[in-house]
Amino acid sequence: MNGDADARLSSSFRLLEQSASTIAQRTDLLFTAMLVLCGVMALGVCLTILVFAVRYRHGAKVERGNIGRHLGLEIGWTLVPLVLFIGLFTWAAHDFTQLYRPPANALPVYVVAKQWMWKLQHRNGRREINELHVPLGQPVRLVMTSQDAIHSFYVPAFRLKQDVVPGRYTGLWFTATQLGEFRLFCAEYCGSEHSQMMGRIVVMQPAEYARWLGSGAEQPSLAQYGFARFRELGCSGCHAAGSTVHAPSLRGLLGRTVHLQDGRSLVADENYVRDSILLPRKDVVAGFEPVMPSFTGQASEEDIQALIAYLREGAIE
């Protein structure tokens, strides 16, 4: 992810004035191609109708008569669109898959949406409300959940959108390619002040961003906060190495394959950790009793995000 290459890319093609992410370029290219294709199609049909309507209007002196079958034409205008559509689908699908493959070095930012505001927290603990500061040219990965209704994180300049759903995490990643401020909208109707749930993304030079990040009020990093909650909520009582209770080890949990009691296995991700904390009977690990209590009502969304940050980065015995 070379900043210069991205800057060159970003100036090469844009549909709208603001084309501020690596993905925006590709989206704009496909959109323009479709615009041309659809425009040709629409104009073609409309012009043909107009030409026929004028030429064959009743009373005009022109040859008329019944038209017979023309199977070749019918098959032709069935197959040609079919091929075109498959091509368009493939192009769009390919670009789409990129949206769900964040690079390994993406900076995580944790987002909690609620009526009617965005709460964001950087890894070092710095919090923001309705604003997100990010560095230019660095992939950023958002881990998002909602506290109430479904919202949707939409940045038109990035051409990116992802619904934010209560009860689970959804993700969005991007690499910003333009400096400046870009609008953030909520794009899923969520009640009275849906249209005012706006914010902005502020893209800064990496050095400036680092300065900004360190300059907030002194606070523990997300992982440190998570560690504090880990103890306060009593998690270490069972999951620490010296505990007398037989509980699964959490070392290196995220990304590890977990084998469950009923024979299934899954890869532990953020949603798995969240479910384990709130609905511990859902996916019990093989070889363990389902004795873990639920922390619904005790652990807030921010707590859970902090716990996840701790599990990902903290030194766990």
Enumerate residues 72-111 that contact other proteins by CB under 8 A: 73-74, 77-78, 81-82, 85-86, 88-89, 91-93, 95-97, 99-100
Instruction: Compare residues 195 and 243 and give the one whose CB is closer to other proteins.
Output: 195
**Pick from 246, 297, 298, 255: which is nearest to 273 by CA?**
255
Q: Which of 106, 119, 185, 288 binds other proteins (CB under 8 A)?
A: 185
DSSP assignment letter at 11: H
Query: Which of helix, strand or coil describes residue 132?
Result: strand
Decide whether 98 or 219 has the Cβ nearer to other proteins: 98
Stretch that binds other proteins, among 54-62, 128-136, 228-236, 250-258 (CB under 8 A): 54-62
Stretch that binds other proteins, among 161-169, 223-231, 237-245, 301-309 (CB under 8 A): 161-169
**Does residue number 34 form part of the binding site for other proteins (CB under 8 A)?**
yes
Q: Does the protein bind other proteins through residue 126 (CB under 8 A)?
A: no
Contact stretch for other proteins (CB under 8 A) within 134-142, 187-195, 246-254, 305-313: 187-195
Q: Under rule CB under 8 A, which residues in 259-288 are in contact with other proteins? A: 261-262, 279-282, 284
For other proteins, which residue of 131, 148, 181, 317 counts as binding (CB under 8 A)?
148
Inter-CA distances, 207 with 9, 29, 86, 146, 202, Å: 22, 31, 45, 31, 14
Of 188 and 303, the one with the shorter C-beta distance to other proteins is: 188
Give the length of the chain.
317
Name the nearest CA neighbour of 186 among 224, 144, 137, 126: 144
Q: Where are the beta strands (DSSP E) in 244-305?
A: 257-259, 265-267
Please count the residues of this chain forming the interface with other proteins, following the rule CB under 8 A. Answer: 87
Residue 183 or 246: which CB sits closer to other proteins? 183
Distance CA 282, CA 260 (A): 10
Distances (CA, A) of 170 to 125, 167, 189, 229, 299: 20, 10, 17, 23, 19
